[in-house]
Chains A and B, each alone.
Chain A
Amino acid sequence: MKTRTPFKTAVLTVTWGWMIIFVLLPNLLVFSSSFLQRDELEFVRLPVTLENYTRLLDPLYGGVMLHSLWMAAVTTVVCLLLGYPFAFAVSRFPARLKPLLIFLVIVPFWTNSLVRTYAMKLLLSTNGIVNDLLITIGLIDEPLRMLYTEGAVIAGLVYILLPFMILPLYAVFEQLRRDLLEASYDLGAGRWETFVRVVLPLTLPGVIAGCLLVMLPAMGMFFTADVLGGAKNLLVGNIIKNQFLDARDWPFGAAASLMLTIVMALLLLAYYRSVKLIRRRGNDVALA
């Protein structure tokens, strides 16, 4: 539709206006303030500097950053290891059962993540159920200190983010053509070889999409680290929050947040490359 009607003009004005004021402009503000200096009264001031970015590599913050990235990476790998076989298993069920099985994965996704973090705290406490259980079956004599550790933060993140890994993986397994697997078996490949050379490459876009959806929140969800991790296990999100709300160092917080955006961009790039690669390979096969 190229004609101009008042309705069209009104709709486009509202939607464009909203996106420019509340998306484009704020992001530009954060981007530019990450190159400025901290100011007590006005939040930021000139001159332009790269100091905020070099401070990210500073041993003081660098250590916290690395630890945070490490926890996000472990969370992502655990989600992948749990979610991949799960998505595969669901995709092999009869078609009439699949919607129900996936619905059961979505239910926790719709429930408040703070509430679920709290549930995790209830389980992992020194007097909590997990310790009780371990003592009852005789695995340990003394309750373990599980809360306020790195493990607790990772467990909480995995628990909250697992559905985000399962859903994109399920989507690619649904598209995986059964005849390709049969062709692979017919050509003499075993289970393992078929998995590595056929299944894994074809499901790669889902793997990367899942990692994207898990890793980014795993770096940002400061409340999980706050409730389960105590003062020592901080995420990038906690650092950003401290800089903006407590230390009032906006430029440094902005630089840290830009780093998150860069990680996001890299993961997105990897996703598009993998999708493209598979399309091209698919065409090659079709032509051959």
Chain B
Amino acid sequence: MWRWLRHAYLWLVYFLLYAPIVVLIVYSFNASKNPYRWGGFSLDWYARLLDNDLLLRAAGNSLLLAVCAATLTTLIGTLTAIALQRYRFRGKALFNGMLFVVMMSPDIVLAISLLTLFILAGVQLGFISLLLAHITFCLPFVVVTVYSRLVGFNPQILEAARDLGAGEFHMVRTVLLPIIFPAVLAGWLLGFTLSIDDVVVSTFVTGPTFEILPLRIYSMVRLGIRPEVNALATVLLALSLIALALSHFLLAKREGNPA
């Protein structure tokens, strides 16, 4: 009896989590103009996406931003994780504290603090401000991902490299990086997803010259139901799932890896 109830409850919660997404996907193939009535299968809304220049440009901007943000975040984040794991330095507690604050504090708090900084420093709102903001909020997540991999392997490998005469930089490049590479890639994917999904921070630090996809969608769905948003959402969902599956695969390989 208890067992039965437990299973039923589990499926109920999964149903609640997935039903809205499934409805969204199904209706993106709807032939009817009425967004609530099923009128047969069609790809009309997808075709219409390709005609929408504004949307396509926003999508291109988002992709550019997410790739740049993810790459730079991964670079800085990996270095940060290495520094945190290998070096003792003054103010490490404060440093950890700041990373933790970025991770925990509500997006909106981070957003206004960065907006204030950009305005006071005279940074023009647009691509650069978006990039700097995205790197900042992705950073702790990449650091945590890479760090957890760094603490998981045998430090004697590094000592061996040192004994064999490798300098610090050489050792990091030829020994450390290959070992933590799956985590670095997973960090990149996480950064990419966080960046391309962000609405809150981007709303504040965006400028008129550089519109990105989530903000374009935001202004579309604020007003009502738009069937082409269903199609767009389905495409985005598929992309997120691919990124998730990839990162899961990369991190799962860790268990099978003796290093």
Contact = CB atoms under 8 A, between A and B. Distances in A.
A125 interface: yes
Given A101-B10, A119-B23, A227-B222, 5 more contacts: A1-B86, A112-B236, A115-B236, A117-B221, A216-B104
Contacts of B102: 23
Interface string A84-116: 011001101000000001011111101111111
Contacts of A8: 83, 87, 168
Contact of A119 (B24, B98, B168, B248): B24
Interface in B71-124: 76, 79-80, 82-83, 86-89, 91, 95, 98-99, 101-102, 104-109, 112-117, 119-120
B197 A125 contact: no
Interface stretch (B11-19, B49-57, B145-153): B11-19
B221 A227 contact: yes
Contacts of B204: 241, 244-245
12 contacts: A5-B169, A7-B168, A7-B172, A11-B83, A15-B80, A26-B113, A29-B117, A106-B244, A112-B240, A119-B233, A122-B20, A237-B200
Nearest to A90: B10
Contact of B21 (A90, A119, A226, A240): A119
B252 to A, nearest CB: 8
Given A23-B98, A101-B10, A159-B20, A114 B218 contact: yes
Instruction: Give the bracket for the number of chain B residues in contact with chain A.
Output: 35 or more
Interface in B161-204: 167-169, 172, 193, 196-197, 199-200, 203-204
Contacts of B250: none
Given A14-B76, A86-B13, A114-B221, A220 B18 contact: no
B108 A237 contact: yes
A22 interface: yes
B200 A15 contact: no
A198 interface: no
Interface stretch (A55-63, A181-189, A252-260, A276-284): A252-260
Given A15-B76, A18-B139, A86-B9, A220 B217 contact: no
B106 A237 contact: yes
Given A101-B10, A240-B112, A125 B105 contact: no
Contacts of B169: 5-7
B214 A15 contact: no
B128 interface: no
Interface string A104-140: 1111101111111111111101011100100000000
Interface in A208-241: 212, 216-217, 219-223, 226-227, 237, 240-241
Contact of A19 (B98, B105, B115): B98
B87 A1 contact: yes
Contact of A103 (B119, B172, B248): B248
Contact of A217 (B80, B106, B120): B106
A268 B97 CA distance: 12
Contacts of B24: 115, 118-119, 122
Contact of B87 (A12, A104, A240): A12
Contacts of A7: 167-169, 172
Interface in B1-34: 6-7, 9-10, 13-14, 16-21, 23-24, 27
Given A5-B168, A7-B168, A121 B221 contact: yes
Nearest to A118: B221
A214 B168 CA distance: 42
A9 B167 CA distance: 14
B18 A115 contact: no
Q: Which of B17, B167, B203 has the most CB of A within 10 A?
A: B17
B35 interface: yes
Contacts of B89: 12
A98 to B, nearest CB: 12
